[in-house]
Amino acid sequence: METSADEIAPKAPELPKFDETVVGASGGDVPTETLVEQVVLWRDLKLSGAIFGAVNLICILTLFLKYSFLSVFSFLVMLLLTASFLFENGAKLLEGHLGKENIPQPSFGLEPFNADAIQAKVPQLVDFLNENITKLRDIVTCKDNKTTLRAIGVAFCFYLLGRIFPDLVLFYLLFLSAFILPKVYEMNKEQIDAAAAQAQERIAEESAKAYKIAEERTKEYSDIASKKFNETASPYLEKYQPQLDTLRQRFSKASVQAPADVASAAASEVTKKAE
């Protein structure tokens, strides 16, 4: 039985496709997931595994083996170009036996952009940018003091993180968290939500207690300060009270006499002009 060249030739690998809906455990459809969500939730094991392994390799080489990022990047580019060179030249040798149309042409993910798809996303991107620019402007111009104070607190936390961790270490920790924590949460959603609810209730209770204690202490210290001030200021007020009363009386007489003097001067001026 003869075998055709079409049956022998390997089929071109298909790029990963993502469905518009993701089927849940119950069999029903759930809302559409973005590409980032599908990657970090490991919907496609090959794609997520490739990204996870590549970034881990780069971080291990740069952080622990002390290679520079430039040298690691250049080495990976060299490997990619070498593989492409060997594949293309090997494919040319097999064209006579298999036919050029039966030899897959890998794109290495370098697909051209779709103008229509990009233009469809532009209004959403513009709305997103305008919304966040408005929020940022409100924070900078202190439209709401609480929001601005929260932003100051967040910036201070990032400052502390920058003092503790180098930038690359912090990026690596965030990357590991992005690929591990969402999947762990998805697999243990009920337990984590229950624990988070209990923690939130506990924090609310402790915050209420702390606020009440702070309010009581503030009132107590305010009363003590007012009492101390009265005890300290009373002798001076009693000593200089006559002088204060005299100044008050003189000021009252001057304020009453001044309009009368002005009226008298105006009347005499009118009389002179009439004469």
Average pLDDT of span 43-56:
88
Q: What angle do CA 239, 244, 245 make, to 5 degrees?
A: 110
Rounded to 5 degrees, what are φ and ψ at 23?
-80, 130
Which residue, among 172, 179, 174, has the nearest Cα to 60 in the 3D structure? Answer: 172
What per-residue confidence (pLDDT) applies to 17? 47
How far, in Å, CA of 40 to CA of 176, rounded? 10
Average pLDDT of span 235-243:
72
Beta bridge partners of 23: 29
What per-residue confidence (pLDDT) applies to 155? 92
pTM (2 d.p.): 0.51
Which residue, among 13, 58, 170, has the nearest Cα to 50 in the 3D structure? Answer: 58
Lowest mean pLDDT: which of 78-82, 152-156, 219-223, 261-265?
Answer: 261-265
What per-residue confidence (pLDDT) applies to 88? 82
**23 within 8 A of 29, measured Cβ to Cβ:** yes
Beta bridge partners of 29: 23
Predicted confidence (pLDDT) per residue in 96-141, tens digit = 666 667 666 666 555 677 788 888 888 888 999 999 999 999 999 9
Place of tokens 């430039």: 70
What per-residue confidence (pLDDT) applies to 8? 45
HSE (CB half, 13 Å, CA atoms) of 271?
A: 6
Q: Quick one: pLDDT band at residue 217, thresholds 50, 70, 90?
A: confident
**41 within 8 A of 183, measured Cβ to Cβ:** yes
φ/ψ region of 142 (left if φ > 0, alpha if ψ in -120 to 50, else beta) reads: left
More confident residue, 239 or 34: 34
Question: What percent of the chain is modeled with pLDDT above 90?
Answer: 15
